[in-house]
Amino acid sequence: MKKEMKYEEAFEQLQTIVRKMENDEFSIDEIAVQLKTAQCLIKFCKDKLTKTEQEILQIQTDGD
């Protein structure tokens, strides 16, 4: 996964993996790889959301 990825890109990739898994589009050999990729994307998205939330809280605190 590239470092400069945006949240929207990661979320879109995650949605694609989920959709393909739901539709049984992955071979047995691909499932583990895709699950690992999904796990990394979930972590990236969670981290990005947490960081953004902290930044917003800081901005609100500085504004008070």
Token code pair at residue 47: 């981290």
Q: How many of the other CB atoms lie within 10 Å of CB of 26?
A: 15
| Confidence at residue 63, expressed as pLDDT on a 0 to 100 scale | 76
Residue tagged 């691909």 (tokens): 30
| Confidence at residue 4, expressed as pLDDT on a 0 to 100 scale | 83
CA atoms within 13 A on the CB side of 28: 0
| Confidence at residue 17, expressed as pLDDT on a 0 to 100 scale | 97
State the pTM of this model. 0.83
| Confidence at residue 3, expressed as pLDDT on a 0 to 100 scale | 64
Low-confidence ranges of the chain (pLDDT < 50): none
